[in-house]
Amino acid sequence: MSVFRMSERTRSACQRLAAACALIGLCSGFEWPGRLSRLIFSSAHASAAERREAVRLLTQYPIDAVRDALLLALEDSELDVRLEAAAALGQARAPEAVVPLMDWLDDKNSELRAAAVRSLGTIDDARSRPGLSRALADGVPEVRLAAVGALGQSDSAADAETLPALLASLDDPDASVRRSVAQALAERGAAGALAPLANRARDESAEVRAAVLRALGKLRDARALPVLVQALADADESVKLAAIAALGDSNNPGAIAPLRSSLNGPVRSAKTAIAALGRVSDDKAQAALIETLAQPELGPAAADALVERARRTLAAPERTGTPSSNTWQPLNALTHALAKANAPAQRALIADTLLRLSEFASIASALFSASASRAASESEAVSATV
C-alpha cells in the first residue's frame, strides 16, 4: 500500500514538474518538439475547452503555419471556439477570413455578428466595408457599437462610401453608439461632419455632447466656434470642460476671449482653459498665459502651457526646414515679462520657465536675466524671513 501511495506522489510530482518545464519553455522561447502539430490536432479533435485553448495558443505562431487550422475552427460546433478563431484571425489580419466572417454578419447569434465585425475591422479589407456599413443598422446595440469601432479605426471612416453611414449613426437611439460615432469622427477629422455634429451638440446625453464638442474642436472649422462657445454655459461640468478643451483644439483666434473668461471660473475649468490657450498659436493666447503667471494658484499651470507651446514653436523649423519669423518670440515675450514683473514669486516663476526652455533652446541672454532675477527673489525672500 505504501508503494502505491509513493507512486501516486511521484506521479503527481512529475506532472507538476512537466507543467513547470512547459511554462519555462514557453516563457524562454523554447519549443517542445511537435508542439505545433499537437496544437493543430487539438484545435480540431480535443474537447471543446481544449479546442478553444489550442486555438488561442495558435496565435503564438506565424499565420502561415496556422491559417488553415484557424479557418477550420471558424466552423467549429462550439460557439466559444468559433469566437476564439475569429479573434485570432482578426489579430493576424488574415484576408482569407474576410469571406467566412462576412457570412457571420447575417447569423442569428448577435455575439457572432459582433465578433465578425470586430475582426473584419481589424483586418480592414475593402471587401468588408459594405457589410460593416450595414451592421450600423443592426438590431442589437452591441453590434452597432462594434461596427462604429470597426469603421472608425481605419481610413474608411473618411471615405465617400462609409462616411454617410457613420454620420447617420449620430442619430442612433443608443447613446453609447452616438458617442462612439463622435469619437470616430474626431479621430479622423472627417470633412463634411460639421453640420451633423453641430446638430448633436444638444444631445440629451452629457457624454454624447462632450464627445461631439471634442470632435468639433478637432475639425478646426471656424463655423463650429459659436457652438463651442455656447456649450460653455452647459449645466454639466464635463460638457463645459470638453467645450473649453475643444476651443483650444480649434486653434482659432476667436477662441481666446472665451478662454480668457474661463480663467475666472472654478480652478478645474481655469486650468483646462490654460492648457487650451497653450494650443492656440495666436500671440494673444501667449500673452494671456504670461499674465496668468502672476496668479499663485494658476501660475504653475500657465508655465507648463508656455513651455509646451514654445516647444512646438521652436520645433516647427525642424519639421518644415524653413525658419519661422516668430521662432524666438516666446523667449522674447517671457524675457520682457521678466523685466516688468514686480512680485518676487512671479519673477521666480518666469525665470524657472525660461530655464526650462533652455533644455531645448539656446537662450543665453535670457538665462542671464533669469538667473539674476531668481537670485534677487531668493534674497528678498531671505530678508523677509529675518
Question: In the prediction, which pLDDT does 323 show?
Answer: 39
Measured CA distances, 276 to 157, 233, 269, 288 (Å): 27, 17, 10, 11
Question: In the prediction, which pLDDT does 337 show?
Answer: 80
**Residues near 375 by beta carbon (within 8 Å), at least 6 away in sequence:** none
Question: In the prediction, which pLDDT does 24 show?
Answer: 37
pTM recorded for the entire structure: 0.76
Question: In the prediction, which pLDDT does 162 show?
Answer: 79
**Residues near 2 by beta carbon (within 8 Å), at least 6 away in sequence:** none
Question: In the prediction, which pLDDT does 353 show?
Answer: 85
Nearest to 274 by CA among 28, 236, 265, 326: 265
CB atoms within 10 A of CB 142: 16
Instruction: Count Cβ atoms within 10 A of the Cβ of residue 265 and give its class: 0-12 exposed, 13-18 middle, 19 or more buried.
Output: middle
Rounded Cα distance, 25 and 12, in Å:
20
Question: In the prediction, which pLDDT does 153 show?
Answer: 76
* Eight-class DSSP state of 232: G
The cell for 246 is 475643444
Assess contact for 210 and 242: CB atoms under 8 A.
Answer: yes
What is the block-wise mean pLDDT of the chain (386 residues), using blocks of 10 residues? 46 48 43 82 95 96 95 97 97 96 97 97 93 96 96 64 87 96 82 89 97 94 96 97 97 97 96 97 92 91 90 60 49 78 83 80 53 54 53
Phi, psi of 263 (to 5 degrees): -65, -20
Rounded Cα distance, 160 and 232, in Å:
33
Assess contact for 69 and 61: CB atoms under 8 A.
Answer: no
Fill in the amino acid letter for 101. Answer: L
Measured CA distances, 126 to 96, 149, 215 (Å): 13, 16, 25
Nearest to 249 by CA among 278, 223, 282: 278
Question: In the prediction, which pLDDT does 324 show?
Answer: 44
- Angle CA(179)–CA(180)–CA(184) in degrees, nearest 5? 120
The cell for 245 is 478643451
Question: In the prediction, which pLDDT does 3 show?
Answer: 40
Assess contact for 268 and 238: CB atoms under 8 A.
Answer: no
